Amino acid sequence: MNLRSRFWTLSALRWLPTGLIIPVHALLPLDRGLSIAELGAAFAVQGIVVLCLELPTGGFADAMGRKPVFIASAVVALASYVMFALADSVLWFALASGLTGVFRALDSGPLNAWYVDEMIDTGMNDGRGLGGGAAGKGDDGGIGGGRGKSVAKGLSGAGTITGLSIAAGAVLTGGIVAWNPFPSMDRLAVPIWLAAALTLVQITVTMLLMNEDRSARVGRLLGSVKATPRTIADGARLMWRSPVLRALVAVEVFWGFGMIGFETLMPIRLSEVLSGPDLAGSVMGPVSAAAWGISAAGALTVPLLLRRLSMVTVSVALRIVQGGTVIAMGLAAGPIGLIIAFFATYAVHTAAGAIYETLLHDQVGSRHRATALSLASMAAQPAGSVGAVVLGLLATGASTGLALVAAGVVLAMAAPLFLVKAKSAVKEKSRKAGAEWEERKAHCGGPNLESVRPVADRRTSRR
């Protein structure tokens, strides 16, 4: 089995349990007596935990290796699923959410970072590499450029596999909830127990397929622990020195907040228009499956889009479009309109994520790759916690539709951040503008040289 096949297999096993859980994740707590505001407060614990653990665990993956951290994330995921299936109060759902935060913190970097590193090490990146810092910027000096397009193809392929896996899990959940094969059990909890069983399979397969040469890393656990603070500090300094990396991390703040709309509020809104969580659970399964199937098809368009447009242009457009579709979800009056808008949201979801991750990888080298992914997740998860609380209160006090509109507006606000360019690109542009002015000055002469002076240079002269 080649590298890409192993990566896609592991991605499928990672996300199939998530597909099982998505349709019932918000409905189960509501069915067990929680209000929407209490649900938001319980789910907010996840983001707080991620904020505390995300960067240390990313640095640990960089220092010790991707495989052991990825396996550890699956073990914690297993524990979180079991606790969530058994929870019956705000406190227990909050504790389950806290375990999910630990799992997400561990999970955010290792698998994709492993794939990118292995692809570069085996010469599968078209011989170009990604680079880090100044060497890793795109040809235009802004975010991305053309160097990471081959990585985008691999990650977008994984996005397609992810979408199909989540779709398969969602279909299975819809069937389970509708069929109710275990009458003695809560039908909304059965998919979560199945997700726990599949996580055991994921752990086993990961041990077999995720090969990693860790000889260049710190060899022992104690050494990894000692190396982690240095890795974290280096990653933090890298972000501080790079305006592009800071902008990309800031994108995750808006995305994390807006994500609550189409992930958490969608099942709740559907239950409102269908008058019941059980019916919503059975409908949400196939709806989620179709949405992730559409999302997988959208991911396939990434190479086609990048043949005609830059990654920055595509990223800006996709964020604006996705924000608009979430707003449409809030404005939809019935189930048909709501579901169509939901499909439109997911049509761009995975494609936007694949390009975003490529841009992020383009800014760092191997030593900080998992740390950079953790920085992004560390921004997204607490923002999601804030979104869960704020949008939950808005849904409880006003309406779920208004909360969805607010989520869409915030999501679209991330678009301008993709336009941030590296300092070196700005300096190079100023240098070229100055050289052009000097050349015109030499050829034109006369008292009205300001009329031919470049606009960018005129702005500089007033500072």
Q: Is the pLDDT of residue 40 over 80?
A: yes
Report how far apart, in Å, the C-alpha atoms of 428 and of each of 47, 205, 343, 424 are: 40, 49, 43, 6
* 277-281, 337-341, 417-421: which is most confident: 337-341
Give pLDDT tens digits for 408-463.
999 999 999 999 886 544 444 544 444 454 555 555 554 443 443 443 343 344 44
Cα–Cα distance, 179 to 190 (Å, whole number): 11
Give pLDDT tens digits for 185-216.
899 999 999 999 999 999 999 999 998 766 65
Give pLDDT tens digits for 340-383.
999 999 999 988 988 998 888 888 777 677 677 777 877 888 89
CB 367 within 8 A of CB 233: no
124: how many CB neighbours lie within 10 A of its CB?
16
Mean pLDDT of 269-277: 86
Give pLDDT tens digits for 120-158.
776 654 444 444 443 344 333 333 444 445 666 677 788
Give the pLDDT of residue 354.
Answer: 85
Give the pLDDT of residue 216.
Answer: 55
The pTM of this model reads 0.73
Mean pLDDT of 76-85: 97
Mean pLDDT of 224-232: 67
Give the pLDDT of residue 123.
Answer: 60
Average pLDDT for the chain: 81
CB 169 within 8 A of CB 17: yes
Give the pLDDT of residue 423.
Answer: 54
Give pLDDT tens digits for 148-184.
456 666 777 887 888 889 889 999 998 998 888 888 8
